[in-house]
Structure 1
């Protein structure tokens, strides 16, 4: 344990931190960039906050994703019953390559670009529904439904079930910061598992032209997808396939509305949309901390000894504000140009859905600003609440005036 700079000193995992983590991240980068912190669930984890260290950890194969290697046989069998446990996000080579390879053909830039027309249709349909209203919640009315419709159409989820996925997804993502919701988490996990089981069984009997049917067919053709892995891959695509993009769209629009000069620049120069999105990702990234890693052997970083089996988290949003990597990192500047931000991670676990998230956000922001040129925040930024949890960073609501 590091006694010289504890989590309380750093101000981690408080309500104030949830609202604005950047002062705490700055303090850690300056005083204790490889910091062992007490997590909300009572265990300790190493927090990595400097950009250079973050890149090193994300690319270092000594930091593994499958924690079950540290368990005994009975514990491992129990852990692997979890439907989220067997997917590419929590796998190491060679399983990682196998699982990722089964889905990455649907997420190539070419395939995603072919979805642009449909994404634009969805965005315009959602905006058509806003006509006649002066105020909306950009998350409920736009940032959430757009990516959930897209991923559900790709996977073959019935449109009437989309709201169920939002409820389940929110519970499971926020679980990391609230152990007190164990009963609710258990209930929603069971509901989600039951739904997947029935849905996959239906698709086995009646395959359609969707990704789930193709994954099932690949498994049945002997392409190495077990039933549990199928649950894991599908649940990851449903949750990760929309959660990050909801936050990227809403965080990005929030950044624009609270920096009106940048909003004006983008309206005057719509060709800046792509660098603008990269700056949104860097400045207020939708994923605050990387997903879990564990040290497969004892590793030393910045003079700190990380023991085999220790839990390690990379603070992506901290690394993306590191002044050693970015000039004036606390300034939101859509003309910043090429960005080496870590919002989608780095190395073999780089986000598979990054091309989709970028296209959805590009279409969403462009269409919204074109249709509502007077778009502006309808409350003070201090009144807004950020969602609890240490994985995702996103607002609970974002009220805006349309005209």
Structure 2
């Protein structure tokens, strides 16, 4: 890929477009070339929007904590719209800085305290055991099964759905709409998915307001209705963000984490034999293969310099977490997965004000999910060659669309994934 700006037939500067089909399958060689070429690159997104992509770990880490880089789209100099969400979905923590961000964060943090997460561990374990049993039964019957559909997707949906008391029948359609919004097959699909998500959340809030309970959504509604500490759009937007992040990111960390461990059987055996290795393993999985490639976009509120490169006020800045996590200036042999790596510090869950509220919950879910799979299905293996796996066509999220698995040595019908 040529990272330098070129000129098209009209004489207009044409920006490089690094996000192609090869990138979707394996983005890391592209990031390596960009990192080597420079710290900041002016490139085009798939829709043609110009952005500044920051690739090196030290610059990404510093920029995440720089108050001059705002997440508020009001500071965009190019009219950046992103997903063009309606106000009832857009007034969330990913679009707010300063006092408004802290106010909303304090309101919702009650659902993610260490005590609350510890209380949830038993329910997570029970759900993981149930889903692992169903996965094993599907493999026994069909020869293989899709781990994403049968385990990695349903587990976080169960956890976050229970936190909000989302009706069972609504959980999978919501997750499907989020996936469509993030990686539509054609542009119109994204808007249609956003409309369905919007209607669903408005109906969910109305239903819970009529019949409150002891769930997190009821607590947020009470903060809105009794204390007037939360606007109506902020309420719905918070529900959207927590449900989306809680279901979307964790499922890809589980499926991607299993794929990584299957590709490193020696380390898989180590962590299976010694549960004390799980915390470090989870951190290395977050560094090595977190699905989120970029932090939420930023907009300089004044001219800034990143890695020695001037960035004008109002430009759209993407901080590339995936590139930072493979930066050899920070991590020795960064492409190597190593559960014994001494420096496992990473930026996968954010930094500073925008550190992930659900970080402890996500870590716990990943650990329980993977440990349960390895215990309940000791011979779990890929049902197809690794090169045949399909990845989401998105520059934002390097995520498997499915993960066909079987049990090593199993004899039986190939099933729909046994190709």
Query: Is the 1:5–1:32 Cα contact (8 Å) retained in structure 2?
Result: no
Of 252, 256, 259, the residue aligned with 2:257 is: 252
Q: Count the aligned residue pairs.
A: 395
Alignment partner, residue 169 of structure 1: 178
Gaps of 5+ in 1: none
Aligned partner of residue 295 in structure 2, secondary structure: coil
Q: Cα 1:3–1:286, aligned 2, differ >3 Å: closer, same or farther?
A: closer
Shift of 1:25: 0.6
Q: Matched residues in 2 for 1:332 and 1:106: separation?
A: 33
Tell me the secondary structure at the aligned position of residue 41 of structure 2. Answer: strand
1:87 is matched with which residue?
92
Aligned counterpart, 1:143: 152
Report the equivalent of 1:311.
Answer: 316
Question: Are positions 1:190 and 2:192 aligned together?
Answer: no
User: 2: CA distance between counterparts of 1:48 and 1:41?
Assistant: 19
Offset at residue 216 of structure 1 (A): 0.3
8 Å contact kept, 1:285–1:317: yes
- Quick check: 1:118 aligned with 2:123? yes
Distance 1:368 1:263 in 2: 12
Task: Indicate yes or no: 2:19 matched with 1:13.
Answer: yes
Residue 5 of structure 1: CA displacement?
Answer: 5.6
Q: Deviations over 1:166-214 (max 9, x none)?
A: 1111012225xx7x42x22222222221121122111111111111111
Task: Give 2:10's aligned residue.
Answer: none
Distance 1:185 1:80, change over 3 A: closer
Match of 2:338 in 1: 333
Secondary structure in 2 matching 1:339: coil
CA contact (8 A) 1:10 1:27 kept: no
Once the two structures are overlaid, the 10-residue window that deviates more, 8-17 or 50-59, is 8-17
Runs of 4+ in 1 over 6 A off after TM superposition: 6-11
* Superposition map of 1:37-186 within 5 A: 37-70=43-76, 81-132=86-137, 133=140, 134-174=143-183, 180-181=186-187, 183-186=188-191
The answer to whether the Cα contact below 8 Å between 1:11 and 1:24 also exists between their aligned partners in 2 is: no
What's the offset of the Cα at 1:262? 1.6
Find the counterpart in structure 2 of residue 377 from structure 1: 382
Structure 2: 5+ residue stretches without partners: 7-12, 409-419
Cα distance change, pair 75–394 in 1 and its aligned pair in 2 (3 A): closer
Per the alignment, residue 304 of structure 2 pairs with: 299
Hey, what does 2:358 align to over in structure 1?
A: 353
- 1:4 aligns with 4
- Cα distance in 2 for partners of 1:335, 1:309 equals 42
2:276 counterpart of 1:267? no
SS in 1 for 2:97: coil
Aligned pair in 2 of structure 1 residues 315, 80: CA closer, same or farther (>3 Å)? closer
